[in-house]
Amino acid sequence: MLDIEFLKSKCGETHYKRLEILGNSALLEFVSEYAKIANPDSIFVCTDSKEDAALMKKKSIELGEETTLNIAGHTMHYDGVTDQGRDPKNTKFLFEPGTAPEGLNGIDREEGLKEINGIMKDIMKGRQMLVCFFALGPVESPFYIPAVQLTDSYYVAHSELVLYRKGYEGFKKAKPVTFFKVLHSSGEVDANCISKNVDKRRIYIDLKNEMVYSSNTQYAGNTVGFKKLALRLAIQKASREGWLAEHMFLMGVHGPWGRKTYFSGAYPSMCGKTSTAMVEGETIVGDDLSYLRNINGKVKAVNVEKGIFGIIQDINANGDPLIWEVLTTPGDVIKTNVLMANGEAYWLGDGQQVPEAGRTFSGDWKKGMKDEAGKDMPHAHKNARYTIDLEALKNCDIALNKKDGVELGGIVFGGRDSDTWVPVRESFNWNHGVITMGAAIESETTAATIGKEGERTFNIMANMEFLSISISKYIEDYIDFGKKLKNPTKIFAVNYFLRDMETGKWLNGVKDKRVWLKWMELRSHNNVGAIETPVGNIPKYNDLKKLFKNVMKKDFTPADYTKQFTIRVPQNVAKIDRIVDIYKNKVKGTPQVVFEMLAAEKDRLLKMKEKHGDFVSPEKLV
């Protein structure tokens, strides 16, 4: 309930006026209600001014949440040893009784609210509450969602100001009745400003009130509420309103005659998503989250964010020169959970000489230190991160903040698949791509992943972890979205991890994705032909030969082509059977079209097998 006098007492005259001038009673009630629960000593309302942004960073450094590095503008932040990643166990949806879709980690809404409000009671006492405004998608665009976060962490506020478009002035103009809301507190912290009570770490998502609660954690994936946490809110909102909220990159691929075609793409973790968005010679709009809308019968898309919160491991001068440049030159850059020694930062796979000693996420570190299992302690965490503004990258696309978004020439789905999918193929139509490509993504575990190597994890649209609706509803939303398009966007599938059936060696080069992107760009404009196979259209040899020569300056032999684009019938049939089993036995209410589409593909494969055998080279299909 709104308590104006209480709010004034916490804000003071200046900051209360900053709220009052917005003319939004829902906002005042939100701030008032949770200020009463969290009980901060004071409230700071952050506007879009450069001075406010600079103050968030300055206070974070002064209080020890961040430490300055030698490179001008760069800072270091450490999360606790047990606070190094997302917390799936304690990330829960708040559902009304009987409304939880299958497979989602939920808790009774009233029970959850009682628990989280109890944890948040007086949690900000002795501290300042920050009221921060952001815009998800460009302000004053069809994609725009206003967003407000309450937090007591200057590091979190600083991170969000790097990652998201400022939203105070947009909020003032739009006067939204509803908006995405986040309440976060680091909770009690130790002398190093690290959350102490991680046993009370909770990340609760209230879909009814479009709100995220986050307590006793500092890791940005749990606290920067407008990343994957608000993606869950957006997926449900999109489902209600007829658009798509996706775990997708956005990029511009340059074609002939000075043409640029935009693609979005969804790949599970460790399947090449970021490396594709940052591929040499092309431009990046975003690396992580996209909103897709039907605007005048065309698919338009925007990057929800304006920055990157990326894994820093293996970023080095040779492999990622553009990101490396940003990470080694002056600017507003936050590095987390890596080694700091004499004001310099070092991370796994950076190509630098590791110093003898320094400070890392686990405290003081020296070469040769052992963990409890007797293994060498790494000098940086494998999930260590960097936070940068996209506009700091030389390959940032000029359409980053285009209000009506970019028109998509294609949507790309990828996974980690050693033995089935060819490197690149095009679907026959929208539904074929949605069902047999996006809704059939699998990602194999690797030797570096917990679990048995080669096990396949199902990950629909690479968005499985973040769904806030049922899988069946998600598929229905995609199909309905396609029905309303005048000329549905082409859908493609890629696989960077195919192995030779005899030797087990990789068949794809690390940079071959540059050619697959160029081919998809040409296909999106029907500039080259294709060979029809039971699983979609694949490239012709001569087209790839020219592209490899022009783009990569290397030869692509007929033998290369045959090995990479041979259709492996047994493996494809086995995959279809696995996916059918999932949708038949593990998903409730699967649309019938899913089974029809998969059965038709299996039938085409078996008929081809009767004619050509188990392994069918593309030459046999011409």
- C-alpha span between 328 and 142 (Å, rounded): 37
Single out the residue of 468, 408, 479 nearest to residue 439, CA to CA.
479
Phi, psi of 255 (to 5 degrees): -110, -170
Structure tokens at 532: 């029809």
Q: Both tokens of residue 437? A: 């490509």
Classify residue 367 by its DSSP letter.
Answer: T
Show Cβ contacts of residue 383 under 8 Å, excluding neighbours closer than 6 positions: 84, 85, 311, 313, 337
> Would you state the torsion angle of the CA atoms of residues 335, 341, 347, 350, taken in this order, to the nearest 10 degrees?
110
Helix axes 25-38, 4-20, angle to 10 degrees: 130
How far does the chain reach from its first CA to its final CA, in angstroms?
71
- 11, 46, 193, 271: the catalytic one is 271
**For residue 274, is it left (φ>0), alpha (ψ between -120 and 50) or beta?**
alpha
Q: What is the SS3 assignment for 346?
A: strand
Task: Give me Rg for the CA atoms of the chain.
Answer: 25
Whether 11 is a known active-site residue: answer no
Tell me how many degrees the CA angle 534-535-539 measures, rounded to the nearest 5.
Answer: 100
Exposure of 525 by Cβ count < 10 A (0-12 exposed, 13-18 middle, 19+ buried)? middle
> Hey, what amino acid is at 454?
G
Half-sphere exposure of residue 376: CA atoms within 13 angstroms, side-chain side: 6
- Residue 457 has a CB neighbour count (10 Å cut-off) of 16
For residue 515, which amino acid is it?
V
Active-site residue set: 271
